[in-house]
Amino acid sequence: MAMNLRKNQAPLYIKVHEIDNTAIIVNDGGLPKGTVFSCGLVLEEDVPQGHKVALTDLNQGDEIVRYGEVIGFADETIKRGSWIREALVRMPAPPALDDLPLANRVPQPRPPLEGYTFEGYRNADGSAGTKNILGITTSVQCVVGVLDYAVKRIKEELLPKYPNVDDVVPLHHQYGCGVAINAPDAVIPIRTIQNLAKHPNFGGEVMVIGLGCEKLLPERIASENDDDILSLQDHRGFAAMIQSILEMAEERLIRLNSRTRVSCPVSDLVIGLQCGGSDAFSGVTANPAVGYAADLLVRAGATVLFSEVTEVRDAIHLLTPRAVSEEVGQSLIKEMKWYDSYLRRGDADRSANPSPGNKKGGLSNVVEKALGSVAKSGTSPISGVLGPGERAKQKGLLFAATPASDFVCGTLQLAAGMNLQVFTTGRGTPYGLAAAPVLKVSTRHSLSEHWADLIDINAGRIATGEASIEDVGWEIFRTILDVASGRKQTWADRWGLHNDLCLFNPAPVT
Amino acid sequence: MAMNLRKNQAPLYIKVHEIDNTAIIVNDGGLPKGTVFSCGLVLEEDVPQGHKVALTDLNQGDEIVRYGEVIGFADETIKRGSWIREALVRMPAPPALDDLPLANRVPQPRPPLEGYTFEGYRNADGSAGTKNILGITTSVQCVVGVLDYAVKRIKEELLPKYPNVDDVVPLHHQYGCGVAINAPDAVIPIRTIQNLAKHPNFGGEVMVIGLGCEKLLPERIASENDDDILSLQDHRGFAAMIQSILEMAEERLIRLNSRTRVSCPVSDLVIGLQCGGSDAFSGVTANPAVGYAADLLVRAGATVLFSEVTEVRDAIHLLTPRAVSEEVGQSLIKEMKWYDSYLRRGDADRSANPSPGNKKGGLSNVVEKALGSVAKSGTSPISGVLGPGERAKQKGLLFAATPASDFVCGTLQLAAGMNLQVFTTGRGTPYGLAAAPVLKVSTRHSLSEHWADLIDINAGRIATGEASIEDVGWEIFRTILDVASGRKQTWADRWGLHNDLCLFNPAPVT
Ligand SMILES: [Ca+2]
Ligand SMILES: [Ca+2]
Ligand SMILES: [Ca+2]
Ligand SMILES: [Ca+2]
Ligand SMILES: [Ca+2]
């Protein structure tokens, strides 16, 4: 990918914390050997954009410090002005989980932020939707061929008659049968499906298509009402199945169509935060700006979810002090331990993250990635922890434990009740979800220019000094309210770019 | 599900082997207490269709014998004529894997079956297609939103110009990033994707859509030619991506469109066998008929794959003697051991199978299910074993190790090069695959009637004596040739019912 130098831009690097002995190169296309910075630093070699330069001479074994934290140790002598390549950084051990400080630096609550609302769909259970969707849940993958056929006809024949309904979304997944449904970890995919079926953007209309012989009984999903379940094996042939699905859908479309947007407090928002295709800018532009917006949301009473266990694991010592109580701190640690053991039983470890693209973007290892990733969580107290697939039941900043995989994390945040996601990306991904809007924030100018019809907000202006973290944070906050209100459409929704759901099933298939 | 009694049918049961002390009820709707069979047996209670009746008095601890094998032990006294409910059957231990007889009863080769051909698409690598499809592989799930948008346009704007091309099939999957790509078990999903990209029904045209920063490098899928790879991050925005995908697709559609069906020997067929939604009839009607067809196919030189480790595990002692060599026998055992350990590390065991529907259909446990399932393999020597996701490179009957999950098994059989699948079902599933035709065979009359527009072949006639296993076996064999030649369409293809692919990834997500 060719990057153009931003016009007239002086050589620039970003040092995050005063004790850092490394900084990242800001300029598009990187900077050549011999570049002289205003502070007098001279580059000893070409350094790509987003990659690290040594600010001091480092001996073998010296700490490499970024974000005020040790991200690794020099594997050989590195001269001031040299490129700190990934291969030169020896990764430190992860923070031990048994002696972490708990709830000892709980941030003071900041003043409530008042006067902001959004236009949403009020649900009977007290939640609110940012879209008005007919969601059709499946109890088993067997039914998706039939369901897809039906959904095509619903969209062509029925949906146009109900203009207040935004979409019809079939919830495909790969669970339901051929799985060890009594294994201890099966609780995760099962509660995920249960909670997805009742997503706030589905207006309380539950509709479950089952087969009739699957292990995951549809009654476990639509527990309140048998009328919400349709079993294919009860139907005399394909044509009858389609007829029944269309009828069941239309009943619900009629009810959904009668809804209108009403003014809702920001406390009805459940905002998921995620990053994907991260680079070294993620932690200094997009993620801190999202963190700023997260603080605003928390002050306005919203629920804010941050996630991605493998990307917070190495920064956990910065999070447990922010937990509102020792109990919440212990819950954070419990999720870290569970994941450590999950990786170990698959003979994997945290070095499986970052991806080659992350590395190309300047991230040396998961420690550096984690320090940048947790910036999304802002500075609020951590009020609670959700296990994978659990539904959020409280306000404030919550850690929703999920893998970092974009689709798995997105699916689990949806299950948590997320009605809008903010997604930061450095390398660029066209990620989107059918069930809730996804607002994409780029870490770099060049990505916003390169993908002008995919990126919603450009946080790259922070690196060049054209905007502050605060400016972009407020832009994100205001855009969330616009998108949640249906006043503004994300690029992903404009094009209809929606990734498949991806359940997290740590239990065996059979 | 209401079942109608088949008109004028006398009370009937099926005893499979002369030493069996149990038999299953044939009549639709089951039979009431007091029913007298021609042999003099009187039912002590109502027994549902497909469920077992005791042919002798059983004391607590007595062996319950079906298929000439012990399927369990009586958990209490069971009187002759009583219903042997699932709860009354204590499951035996699985066959020990360390002292199994190997290759000691290799069936004699039967005379070659000559004079049969099908009309297929000849590929440069020597394989043959049963369809002429543009397959579009993804290296990572990130791209599917964009790909789906492009495929919709390809189908609307391009496909009609190339009438010899049957379909455009995007290969969605949930792998590629956010996974422990260096974990030992990662080899399974990776080789699956590699082999899917080169499926015989794709005519040798490889087309891979990647993102640009994913862990699974597209070069690992399209290793021969860079021109077969398109990376979204290389494109300036969404519109440019779509334009490029359309151009790349059209180049391939032009070449695919120039192909015509030619006469091919049966040895070019790679037939996958699977069952799903099994019942107690599976092992006496559909599966033995498929086994008969499998023997015909092997005699005609084809490759035949049987699979589903969890369903052969308990019948493994019947399979190792049929292995052509001790080495092949050891490979069978190796796959069983791997799966035992895979289940164990997830705290699951073989009792996770069968499903509630299987049980409702009369299958008491996985032993009974396995004995019925392996009937699909017929009586030929077992010539080889494929690990999950490996490509078949030899002719004859092969064991392709896969989970029993219909979608996972189907995906892995496609990776093995399967160009047509035969799928038996008792409870009923509308299963289909986009990449290869799926022929559905019902185990019961009542299902064929109930789902007349979904079931292709009715093996239920075997239970009632209206057709022999041989009759239905030949019908399956001939229908395979018709479908493989494009002369006959399966119901699943008629309606376009295609399940999602489902990779087998035993390694962790991250
Ligand atoms: Ca991330
Ligand atoms: Ca992510
Ligand atoms: Ca080339
Ligand atoms: Ca099966
Ligand atoms: Ca199966």
- How far apart, in whole angstroms, are the C-alpha atoms of residue B185 and residue B368? 30
Closest CA to B279 of B369, B361, B367, B368: B361
Closest CA to B333 of B94, B29, B9: B94
- How far apart, in whole angstroms, are the C-alpha atoms of residue A190 and residue A177? 11
How open is the CA angle B166-B205-B225, to the nearest 5 degrees? 165
How would residue B355 be classed by pLDDT, with cut points 50, 70 and 90? confident
Interface test with A, best of B411, B429, B440 (most A CBs within 10 A): B429
Give me the mean pLDDT over the A375-379 stretch.
Answer: 96
CA of A177 to the centre of ligand 5 (A): 10
Contact flag A499-B144 (C-beta cutoff 8 Å) = yes
Helix pair A406-415, A187-197: axis angle to 10 deg? 60
Give me the mean pLDDT over the B495-508 stretch.
Answer: 96
Contact flag B510-A352 (C-beta cutoff 8 Å) = yes
Q: In A, which residues are within 8 Å of B429 by CB distance?
A: 142, 211, 213
Task: Give the tokens for residue B306.
Answer: 């049987």
Ligand nearest, relative to CA of residue B407: 5
Q: In A, which residues are within 8 Å of B428 by CB distance?
A: 211-213, 232-233
Residue B281 has pLDDT above 80, yes or no: yes
Contact flag B453-A239 (C-beta cutoff 8 Å) = yes
Judge whether B386 and B399 are in contact, CB under 8 Å.
yes
Gap from A401 CA to chain B (nearest CA, Å): 12
Cα nearest neighbour of A313 on chain B: B510
Question: Which residue matches tokens 């629920």?
Answer: A303
Cα nearest neighbour of A355 on chain B: B215
For chains A and B, count residue pairs whose Cβ atoms are closer than 8 Å. Answer: 269
Q: In B, which residues are within 8 Å of A184 by CB distance?
A: 347
Domains of chain A and CATH, by start: 11-88 (2.30.130.110), 132-256 (3.40.50), 261-493 (3.40.50)
Contact flag B356-A141 (C-beta cutoff 8 Å) = no
pLDDT at residue A354 in the model:
81
- How far apart, in whole angstroms, are the C-alpha atoms of residue B213 and residue B240? 18
How would residue B1 be classed by pLDDT, with cut points 50, 70 and 90? very low
% of chain A with per-residue pLDDT over 70: 98
CA of A402 to the centre of ligand 5 (A): 30
pLDDT at residue A4 in the model:
40
How open is the CA angle B223-B224-B229, to the nearest 5 degrees? 65
ipTM of the complex: 0.93
Cα nearest neighbour of B401 on chain A: A510
Contact flag A348-B177 (C-beta cutoff 8 Å) = no
Task: Identify which of B346, B452, B499 has the shortest CB distance to residue A180.
Answer: B346
Question: Between A488 and A279, whose confidence is greater?
Answer: A488
pLDDT at residue B109 in the model:
86
- How far apart, in whole angstroms, are the C-alpha atoms of residue B225 and residue B197? 13
Q: How many CB atoms lie within 10 A of CB A465?
A: 11
The mean of the pLDDT values for chain B is 95
Contact flag A429-B142 (C-beta cutoff 8 Å) = yes
Task: Give the tokens for residue B161.
Answer: 């110009």
Read off the pLDDT of residues A140-174 as tens digits, 9 standing for 90 and up: 999 999 999 999 999 999 999 999 999 999 999 99
Residue B33 has pLDDT above 70, yes or no: yes
Residue A357 has pLDDT above 90, yes or no: no
Question: Which residue matches tokens 């801190």?
Answer: A288
Neighbouring residues of A40: CB distance < 8 A, sequence distance ≥ 6:
none
Read off the pLDDT of residues A101-127 as tens digits, 9 standing for 90 and up: 999 999 998 999 999 999 999 999 999
Cα nearest neighbour of B310 on chain A: A510
- How far apart, in whole angstroms, are the C-alpha atoms of residue B500 and residue A144? 8
Q: Which residues surround ligand 2, an ion (CB under 5 A)?
A: A 274, 276, 404, 406
CA of B136 to the centre of ligand 3 (A): 18
pLDDT at residue B376 in the model:
97
- How far apart, in whole angstroms, are the C-alpha atoms of residue A276 and residue B180? 16
Q: What is the dihedral angle through the alpha carbons of A486, A491, A493, A498, rounded to the nearest 10 degrees?
A: -150
Contact flag A1-B177 (C-beta cutoff 8 Å) = no
Closest CA to A87 of A77, A75, A95: A75
What is the pairing mode between strands B270-275 and A117-122?
unpaired
How would residue A5 be classed by pLDDT, with cut points 50, 70 and 90? very low
How would residue A3 be classed by pLDDT, with cut points 50, 70 and 90? very low
Gap from B240 CA to chain A (nearest CA, Å): 10
Contact flag B180-A217 (C-beta cutoff 8 Å) = no
Ligand nearest, relative to CA of residue B312: 4
Residue B492 has pLDDT above 80, yes or no: yes
pLDDT at residue A51 in the model:
95
Judge whether B10 and B38 are in contact, CB under 8 Å.
yes
- How far apart, in whole angstroms, are the C-alpha atoms of residue A272 and residue A306? 6
pLDDT at residue B8 in the model:
62
pLDDT at residue B354 in the model:
81
Q: Which residues surround ligand 3, an ion (CB under 5 A)?
A: B 226-227
The strand ranges marked E within A107-178 are: 117-122, 128-129, 133-138, 167-171
Give me the mean pLDDT over the B251-259 stretch.
Answer: 98
Question: Which residue matches tokens 């189907």?
Answer: B410
Q: In B, which residues are within 8 Å of A211 by CB distance?
A: 277, 357, 427-429
% of chain B with per-residue pLDDT over 70: 98
- How far apart, in whole angstroms, are the C-alpha atoms of residue B27 and residue B25? 6
Closest CA to A9 of A34, A32, A26: A26
Contact flag A141-B177 (C-beta cutoff 8 Å) = no
CA of A489 to the centre of ligand 1 (A): 24
The mean of the pLDDT values for chain A is 95
Task: Identify which of A214, A239, A310 has the shortest CB distance to residue B355.
Answer: A214
Judge whether B24 and B284 are in contact, CB under 8 Å.
yes
% of chain B with per-residue pLDDT over 90: 93
pLDDT at residue B349 in the model:
84
What is the pairing mode between strands B128-129 and B420-425?
unpaired
Give me the mean pLDDT over the B3-12 stretch.
Answer: 65
pLDDT at residue A7 in the model:
55
Q: In A, which residues are within 8 Å of B181 by CB distance?
A: 352
Read off the pLDDT of residues A244-290 as tens digits, 9 standing for 90 and up: 999 999 999 999 999 999 999 999 999 999 999 988 899 999 999 99
Residue type, B454: L
pLDDT at residue A1 in the model:
30
pLDDT at residue A109 in the model:
86
Residue B209 has pLDDT above 50, yes or no: yes
CA of B479 to the centre of ligand 5 (A): 21
CA of B188 to the centre of ligand 3 (A): 28
Cα nearest neighbour of B278 on chain A: A213
CA of A44 to the centre of ligand 1 (A): 32
Judge whether B416 and B270 are in contact, CB under 8 Å.
yes
Contact flag A232-B360 (C-beta cutoff 8 Å) = no
Read off the pLDDT of residues A166-199 as tens digits, 9 standing for 90 and up: 999 999 999 999 999 999 999 999 999 999 999 9
Contact flag A352-B180 (C-beta cutoff 8 Å) = yes
Task: Identify which of A172, A496, A500 has the shortest CB distance to residue B141.
Answer: A500
Distance of CA A73 to CAs A91, A437, B15, B126, Å? 7, 41, 72, 54
Closest CA to A159 of A270, A257, A238: A257
Give me the mean pLDDT over the A435-444 stretch.
Answer: 97
Q: In A, which residues are within 8 Å of B497 by CB distance?
A: 145-146, 148-149, 238
Contact flag B213-A277 (C-beta cutoff 8 Å) = yes
- How far apart, in whole angstroms, are the C-alpha atoms of residue A53 and residue A58? 11
Judge whether B207 and B134 are in contact, CB under 8 Å.
yes
Task: Identify which of B174, B183, B499 has the shortest CB distance to residue A500.
Answer: B174
Task: Identify which of A233, A352, A355 has the shortest CB distance to residue B427.
Answer: A233
Residue A432 has pLDDT above 70, yes or no: yes
How would residue A6 be classed by pLDDT, with cut points 50, 70 and 90? low
| Alpha helix positions (H), B262-405 | 286-299, 309-312, 316-319, 326-345, 356-360, 366-373
Q: Which of A484-498, B274-288, B411-425 shows the lowest mean pLDDT across its residues?
A: B274-288
Gap from A251 CA to chain B (nearest CA, Å): 24
pLDDT at residue A8 in the model:
62
Neighbouring residues of B387: CB distance < 8 A, sequence distance ≥ 6:
B188, B335, B401
Read off the pLDDT of residues B42-91 as tens digits, 9 standing for 90 and up: 999 999 999 999 999 999 999 999 999 999 999 999 999 999 999 999 99
Closest CA to B427 of B366, B357, B365, B362: B357
Contact flag A184-B347 (C-beta cutoff 8 Å) = yes
